[in-house]
A and B are shown apart, each in its own frame.
Chain A
Amino acid sequence: MTTVATRRVVGGVGESVRRPDGRPKVTGDFAYASDLVADRMLWGATLRSPFARARLISLDTAPALAMPGVHAVLTQEDVPGLATFGQVHQDQPVFCDGEARYWGEPVAVVAADDPETARLAVNAIVVEWDELPPVSDPEQAAAAGDSFRDMEIRRGDPEAVGTVVIEGVYQTATQDQAPLGPEAGLAVPDDQGGLDLYITSQWVHVDHRQIVACLGMADDQVRCHPAGIGGAFGAREDISLHIHIALLALRTGRPVKMVYNRTESFAGHVKRHPARMWYRHEADADGRLVKVTARLLLDGGAYAHTSPAVVANAAYFTVGPYRCDNVFVEAAVVRTNNPPAGAMRGFGVVQTCFAHESQMDRLAEAVGVGPLELRRRNALVAGDPLNTSGQTIEGSLPTLEVLDALESIPLPAESAEDDPRRLPGGTGLTTPPSAVRRGVGYALGLKNLAFSEAFDDYADARVVLTSAGVEVHTAAIEVGQGLVTVCQQIARTVLGVEQVAVIWDDTSQIGSAGSTSASRQTQMTGGAVHAAAVGLLEKILASHDGDELTNEGVRRADELVATMAEVCAEGSIENSVRFRHPPTEEPDEFGQGAVHAGFAVAAHRAVVDVDPDLGLVRVLQVDTAQDVGKALNPGAVVGQMEGGILQGVGLAVMEELVIDDGVIRNPTFTDYLLPTFLDAPDVETRIIEDPDHWGPFGAKGIGEPPTISSTPAVVAAIRAATGRPLTRVPVRPEDIVGI
C-alpha cells in the first residue's frame, strides 16, 4: 500500500484526538435509535414464545385488532417475501412458523398509538401452545448430528507423542454483550411504496439484503440508515426487530417505532456461544509443544446466525500463539433450543483461549518453569506456520515483545489493603483482611483480523474535497469504538487538510463497508479512506501541478498556487475506493490453507484477592501489552484495551446468562451482573507498535484481543490464590469456598 509521508497536520494519525460525536453524547443531544421520533408515529410491540420449544396450535389476533388504538397485528402469514432470514443460512422465520424453537422467539407484532396500548394488545392475542421437550444439551444435539457446521483440522503427524501429557476439559458459560442501548428502530414509509429504516446495526448492507428479501421488495425501495448505537459487541450483527418494523410501517402506512425493553433485549439478540472443550497437550520435557488434540463443542442455539464462522474461528485458534507442528481438532457447533448464539467480541476465540491458556499453565507447572517462560519457549512469531491452518504468518507478530512489555509493568503492593472497598466483597467482607489470599496469573491470546476463508471482504469509502473541507463517506458503523476519529485522522494525514467530517451514508448512497466486527474497520474502512484520500490527493495535485495540499489550498515549492475555493471552483472533487485486504483461501477439508488475512497478539496479567470463606474475588489489577501495528488514536486504543479487559473480567467472575431447559432465568440487569466501577481493576497498558503488512500506516485491528486473554489471566490468578483447578468460567463462589 502507498503510504504518504506524514505531514504536520493537527489531528492526524498518532494523536489522541477528541471524538466529534463526543459533545452531543455528553450533552444528551446525540440521537440514539431509541430517541427517534416522527410525525404520526405508531409504536410497535412483540409477542414472544414463553417456551423454549412448543408447537403453535392456534393464534387469534382478532381481540388485539379490535382494541381502540391498535392499527395492525402481523404474524408469519403476513410476510410477503422470503419467509426466513439469516446472515449465513436463511433458516430463521420472521415470526414463529408453527413451532417455537427458542424462548422469546417472536410470534406476532402489533402497531398501536402508544407503547402501553401496543403492550396491552400483545397480551390480548390468544395463543394456544403444545409445549414440547426442548433440546437443551448440546451433547444430545451432537449425538443426533444436528450441527450448523463441523470443522476438522488435521495437521502433522497423528502418531507424534510427547513425554509430558496434559489433559483437561473446560467450559465457558453463556455471556451476553449487554450493550446499554436496547434494540430500537424507526421505519418510515415513503410515498412510493418504499421505506426508510433507521436501525441499529453492525452492517447495514447485510441487514438490507435480508430485509428486502423478506419484504419481497426491490433493493432500491428500502434504504437502511445507521441510527445512533449504544454499544454492540456483536449483539447487532444479526437482525432483531428490523423486518418487523418494516412490515408494520408498510401495513399501516405510518412511521413505526419499536424499542425492546431489557428483558426483550436479552431474548432478542444472539449470545456468546457456550462451549465445552476437551484438550490434550503433549510436550517434550522442556515444555515445547509436540502435539495438541482437541474436541470443541459449541452450542449454537436455535438458528444458525454466524455460528459457522464462529466454530471455524474457535478451531483455528485452538492452540493459541504457540508453535506446534501436530494439531488435530474436531469442532462442531450444534442446533439446540437454547438462545441463539452468534457474534460476541472475540468470536469463538474467547472460549478456546480460556482452554489453551489453562492447559499452558498446567504444562508450565508440570515441567517446572514459570508461565511466562513456557510461553516464550513456545512463542509463535512472524514467519512461523500457524499451528492449525499451516499458513505462514505474514506481517508482524511481536509475541515476545508483548510478553516482555507485560512483565515490565510493576506489580501492586503485596499486602491486601485496609480499605474494605478494595477487598473482595467490598464493605460486606466478613473475613479478616489477613485471611485474604493474593494470586497472580498470566495469559496470552491470538486473534485473526478481518474476515477469513476466502470471504470477499471489502469496504467502500468516498472522500470528497469541498471548499468547506473534506467529507469522508462510509456505510461503516460507529458503535462507539471510535472509527469516526480514525477516518478523520487518516484523511487529515493524507490530505493535509484539518477540516474533515465523516458522513454515515445509508445503503442507497454508497456500497458496503462490511461489518463492524472481526476487529476489522480500522484496517478495512481505514484502508479504504486511506486509499481514497491518496487517489484524491494525486488527482488534485495533478490538476494544479502542485506538490502539496494544505488547509489553504494547493502549493508548489511552498508557494500557494490555488486556494481551496479555486481548487473547488467547478464543484467538489471526489474519489471512491473499494478496498480489499490480501485474499484469503478456502481451507481444504482439514482446515489447511492461507485462510486468515492477519493476526494480532495480546497478553494480560491479572492480580486478584480472594476471600476463601465466601468465595468472593476482587480483581485488583489487570495489566496488558497489545500488538496494535500502529496506534492511530492512542487514547482510543487504551479505551479499547480497558473496556475489553472489563468484559473479560466479567466472563471470568460474574457474567453468566443462566439458562434452564432453554429458558433464560436472569434476563435483567438486576440478575445478569455487569461489572460496576467498584468491580473494575486498575489497568496498566503497553501499546506495542510493529507495523503490519496491509493496514493503513501499519495499523492492526484492536477491538477483540483485550477481551480474549483477560479472562484466562484472571482465572489463572484465582487458581494461584486458591489451588483450585477452575475449569469453568465464570468462576463462582462455590468453586472457591472450602479451601
Chain B
Amino acid sequence: MTVTIIVNGEQRATSAAGWESLLSVLRDEFGLRGSKDACEQGECGSCTVILDGESVCSCLVMVGDCDGARVATVEGLVQADILHAVQEALLEAGGIQCGFCTPGFAVAGAHLLEQNPHPTEDEIKEALAGNICRCTGYGAILRAFVRLAGGDEA
C-alpha cells in the first residue's frame, strides 16, 4: 500500500510498512533528518512535527495513519533562506548548545506561537514541557520565547 503525505507542502509517497513510524520514514526515506530520534517513546520531543495542525512526536505515529495528512517538519520553517522568528530567537538568546533538541523546540515553539501569540512564561513552559533539553537548563530557551511572546514577531 502506498501512503501519500504532504510534507512541508510537497506531496510525497512511501511504500513503507504501515507500522513504520512517521519519524523513520521522514528520516530514512525522505532524507529529512532534522527531526531527531532520541528516545523513540514520545518522551523527549526531539522528533516533534505538526501533523494536521497538531504537535506530535513523529516517533509515535504510524505512517499507515498518515495517508493524506499534512506534515510540517523543521525543514519547512525556513522560508526563502530566512529563518523563522522562533529560530532567530533561539539563536539570539543562546538557546542552543548540543542542538539535538533544537529542531523539536523550534517546531513546537512555532506551533505554540501560532496558537497563542503572546503566551505567559507559565504557558510557554507548559506548552514546551514535552521537549527535553539536557544542556541548557531551559533558561535561554525561555528567554527566547519570552522575547517573542512580548513582541510582534510571532
Chain B interface: which of A163-171, A267-275, A496-504, A638-646?
A638-646
Given A27-B87, A421-B125, verify A680-B94 contact (CB < 8 Å).
Answer: no
Is A434 positioned at the interface, with any CB of B under 8 Å from its CB?
A: no
Is A252 positioned at the interface, with any CB of B under 8 Å from its CB?
A: no
Residues of B within 8 A of A232 (CB): 98
Chain A interface: which of B62-70, B130-138, B146-154?
B130-138
- Nearest CB to that of A233 among chain B residues? B134
Q: How many residues of B contact A (CB 8 A)?
A: 53
A-B contact count (CB 8 A): 167
Residues of B within 8 A of A507 (CB): none
In the bound complex, do residue A646 and residue B137 qualify as a contact, i.e. CB atoms below 8 Å apart? Answer: yes
- Nearest CB to that of B76 among chain A residues? A28
In the bound complex, do residue A180 and residue B91 qualify as a contact, i.e. CB atoms below 8 Å apart? Answer: no
Residues of A within 8 A of B38 (CB): 180-182, 230, 262, 669
In the bound complex, do residue B100 and residue A636 qualify as a contact, i.e. CB atoms below 8 Å apart? Answer: no
Docked Cα-Cα span, A642 to B141, in Å, equals 11
Given A26-B96, A669-B39, verify A421-B91 contact (CB < 8 Å).
Answer: no
Is B13 positioned at the interface, with any CB of A under 8 Å from its CB?
A: no
Chain B interface: which of A14-22, A281-289, A352-360?
A14-22
In the bound complex, do residue A27 and residue B74 qualify as a contact, i.e. CB atoms below 8 Å apart? Answer: yes
Is B140 positioned at the interface, with any CB of A under 8 Å from its CB?
A: yes
In the bound complex, do residue B136 and residue A643 qualify as a contact, i.e. CB atoms below 8 Å apart? Answer: yes
Docked Cα-Cα span, A113 to B83, in Å, equals 37
Given A180-B100, A421-B126, A636-B94, verify A674-B132 contact (CB < 8 Å).
Answer: yes
Docked Cα-Cα span, A645 to B142, in Å, equals 16
Is A261 positioned at the interface, with any CB of B under 8 Å from its CB?
A: yes
Residues of B within 8 A of A230 (CB): 36, 38, 98-100
In the bound complex, do residue B43 and residue A482 qualify as a contact, i.e. CB atoms below 8 Å apart? Answer: no
- Nearest CB to that of A35 among chain B residues? B33
Residues of A within 8 A of B27 (CB): 35
Is B106 positioned at the interface, with any CB of A under 8 Å from its CB?
A: yes
* B74-97 contact mask (Cβ, 8 Å, vs A): 1 or 0: 110110000100010011101011
Residues of A within 8 A of B33 (CB): 28, 31, 35
Is B41 positioned at the interface, with any CB of A under 8 Å from its CB?
A: yes
Residues of A within 8 A of B129 (CB): 676-678
- Nearest CB to that of B75 among chain A residues? A28
Residues of B within 8 A of A19 (CB): 94, 96
Docked Cα-Cα span, A683 to B77, in Å, equals 30
In the bound complex, do residue B34 and residue A27 qualify as a contact, i.e. CB atoms below 8 Å apart? Answer: yes
Docked Cα-Cα span, A639 to B129, in Å, equals 19
Residues of B within 8 A of A665 (CB): none
Residues of A within 8 A of B100 (CB): 32, 179-181, 230-231
Is B102 positioned at the interface, with any CB of A under 8 Å from its CB?
A: yes
Docked Cα-Cα span, A231 to B96, in Å, equals 11
In the bound complex, do residue A34 and residue B37 qualify as a contact, i.e. CB atoms below 8 Å apart? Answer: yes
In the bound complex, do residue B78 and residue A27 qualify as a contact, i.e. CB atoms below 8 Å apart? Answer: yes
Is B128 positioned at the interface, with any CB of A under 8 Å from its CB?
A: yes
Residues of A within 8 A of B90 (CB): 22, 26
In the bound complex, do residue B134 and residue A262 qualify as a contact, i.e. CB atoms below 8 Å apart? Answer: no
In the bound complex, do residue A181 and residue B139 qualify as a contact, i.e. CB atoms below 8 Å apart? Answer: no
A16, A26, A479, A482: residue with the most chain B Cβ atoms closer than 10 Å: A26
Is A481 positioned at the interface, with any CB of B under 8 Å from its CB?
A: yes
| A-facing residues in B11-61 (Cβ within 8 Å) | 27, 32-41, 43-44, 46
Docked Cα-Cα span, A282 to B74, in Å, equals 59
In the bound complex, do residue B126 and residue A29 qualify as a contact, i.e. CB atoms below 8 Å apart? Answer: no
Is B72 positioned at the interface, with any CB of A under 8 Å from its CB?
A: no
Docked Cα-Cα span, A31 to B27, in Å, equals 12
- Interface size class for chain A? 35 or more
Docked Cα-Cα span, A26 to B104, in Å, equals 9
Chain B residues touching A, majority SS: loop
* A109-120 contact mask (Cβ, 8 Å, vs B): 1 or 0: 000000000000
Residues of B within 8 A of A646 (CB): 137-138
Docked Cα-Cα span, A571 to B122, in Å, equals 56
Residues of A within 8 A of B74 (CB): 27-28
In the bound complex, do residue B35 and residue A28 qualify as a contact, i.e. CB atoms below 8 Å apart? Answer: yes
Docked Cα-Cα span, A632 to B37, in Å, equals 33
- Nearest CB to that of A644 among chain B residues? B137
Residues of B within 8 A of A16 (CB): 94
In the bound complex, do residue B99 and residue A26 qualify as a contact, i.e. CB atoms below 8 Å apart? Answer: yes
Instruction: Looking at the assembled complex, report how far the CB atom of A422 sits from the nearest CB atom of chain B, in whole angstroms.
Output: 7
Docked Cα-Cα span, A499 to B50, in Å, equals 38
Instruction: Looking at the assembled complex, report how far the CB atom of A710 sits from the nearest CB atom of chain B, in whole angstroms.
Output: 10
Residues of B within 8 A of A261 (CB): 40
Q: Which of A180, A635, A644, A668 touches B46 (beta carbons < 8 Å)?
A: A180
Q: Which of A25, A229, A677 touches B96 (beta carbons < 8 Å)?
A: A25
Given A28-B74, A635-B94, A676-B129, verify A180-B43 contact (CB < 8 Å).
Answer: no
Q: Which of B75, B106, B126, B140 touches A638 (beta carbons < 8 Å)?
A: B140
Instruction: Looking at the assembled complex, report how far the CB atom of A22 sits from the nearest CB atom of chain B, in whole angstroms.
Output: 5
In the bound complex, do residue B135 and residue A643 qualify as a contact, i.e. CB atoms below 8 Å apart? Answer: yes
- Nearest CB to that of A26 among chain B residues? B87
Docked Cα-Cα span, A182 to B125, in Å, equals 25
Residues of A within 8 A of B39 (CB): 262, 668-670
Given A18-B91, A26-B96, A180-B44, verify A421-B122 contact (CB < 8 Å).
Answer: yes
In the bound complex, do residue B132 and residue A30 qualify as a contact, i.e. CB atoms below 8 Å apart? Answer: no
Instruction: Looking at the assembled complex, report how far the CB atom of A549 sits from the nearest CB atom of chain B, in whole angstroms.
Output: 29
In the bound complex, do residue B92 and residue A18 qualify as a contact, i.e. CB atoms below 8 Å apart? Answer: yes
Docked Cα-Cα span, A670 to B41, in Å, equals 7
Docked Cα-Cα span, A677 to B104, in Å, equals 14
Is B5 positioned at the interface, with any CB of A under 8 Å from its CB?
A: no
In the bound complex, do residue A480 and residue B98 qualify as a contact, i.e. CB atoms below 8 Å apart? Answer: yes
In the bound complex, do residue B98 and residue A181 qualify as a contact, i.e. CB atoms below 8 Å apart? Answer: yes
Residues of B within 8 A of A422 (CB): 122
Instruction: Looking at the assembled complex, report how far the CB atom of B30 sits from the nearest CB atom of chain A, in whole angstroms.
Output: 12
* A670-687 contact mask (Cβ, 8 Å, vs B): 1 or 0: 100010111010010000
Is A419 positioned at the interface, with any CB of B under 8 Å from its CB?
A: yes
Is B71 positioned at the interface, with any CB of A under 8 Å from its CB?
A: no
Q: List 10 A-B contacts (CB under 8 A).
A: A18-B91, A27-B78, A27-B83, A28-B32, A179-B100, A180-B134, A230-B38, A230-B99, A639-B135, A669-B39
Instruction: Report the 4 A-B pairs with minimum CB-CB distance, sorted nearest first.
Output: A28-B34, A480-B98, A25-B99, A230-B100
- Extra A-B contacts (4), CB below 8 Å, given A23-B83, A35-B27, A179-B100: A18-B92, A22-B91, A639-B94, A670-B43
Interface residues of chain A, those whose CB is within 8 Å of chain B, are 16, 18-19, 21-23, 25-32, 34-35, 178-182, 229-233, 259, 261-262, 419, 421-422, 479-482, 635-636, 638-639, 642-647, 668-670, 674, 676-678, 680, 683
Interface residues of chain B, those whose CB is within 8 Å of chain A, are 27, 32-41, 43-44, 46, 73-75, 77-78, 83, 87, 90-92, 94, 96-103, 106, 122, 124-126, 128-142
